[in-house]
Amino acid sequence: MCTEEIKWVKFGGDQASCDSLYSKPEYDDSFRFKTDDGSIFTGNITWEQGRFNNYRFFVGEDGSDHIYYPEKVTHIESK
């Protein structure tokens, strides 16, 4: 069995960090992210209409109700 090493990039959790991540085509597909409690998930980032930082990280498929707010995400998978 082969174990894959994940290379992590620190994620700021603010509007600018989200804007940057959201604009990168390599993150259009699913990627792994780590939360502040050390949990690792595969999902994506989405943006919802509204005021302030309306980005959400969802686990699994788009439209999942299992979400994390950007301030809870500490690292993303390097692509």
As a whole number of angstroms, the distance between CA 47 and CA 1 comes to: 37
* pLDDT of res. 52: 63
Tokens of 75: 């690292």
Q: Is the pLDDT of residue 77 over 60?
A: yes
As a whole number of angstroms, the distance between CA 65 and CA 73 comes to: 16
Tokens of 36: 């502040």
Q: Does 8-77 carry CATH code 3.40.50?
A: no
36-73 residue pLDDT tens: 999 999 999 988 776 666 899 999 866 667 899 999 99
**Considering the entire predicted model, what is its pTM?**
0.85
* pLDDT of res. 75: 98
Domain ranges within the chain, ordered by starting residue: 8-77
Q: Which residue has better confidence, 63 or 14?
A: 14
